[in-house]
Amino acid sequence: MVDVSQHELVPDHVLLDDQEIEDVFDEYDISRTDLPKIKTSDPAAPDDAEPGDVVEIVRDSRTTETAVVYRLVVA
């Protein structure tokens, strides 16, 4: 089977630790429930992602060098 997460068009998906999550929430004045969702079954999600985790996705961007987005992991 092909590992989709290793494909060149799939951006990096990184799990954040608790301190990084709090920093993101403080910076954007949001809570966990405000984040878009990503399922644990998503092929691009990190293998060790569990419901409640937050994933940082770093994409290439046309207007800026990179674009960073965050997703809440759900079952």
Q: Which amino acid is at 8?
A: E
Segment 8-24, tens digit of pLDDT: 778 889 999 999 999 99
CATH of domain 4-74: 3.90.940.20
Give pTM, 2 decimals: 0.85
What number is the average pLDDT over the span 46-52? 92
Segment 20-43, tens digit of pLDDT: 999 999 999 999 999 999 999 998
String of DSSP letters for 3-15: -GGGSTTSPEEEE
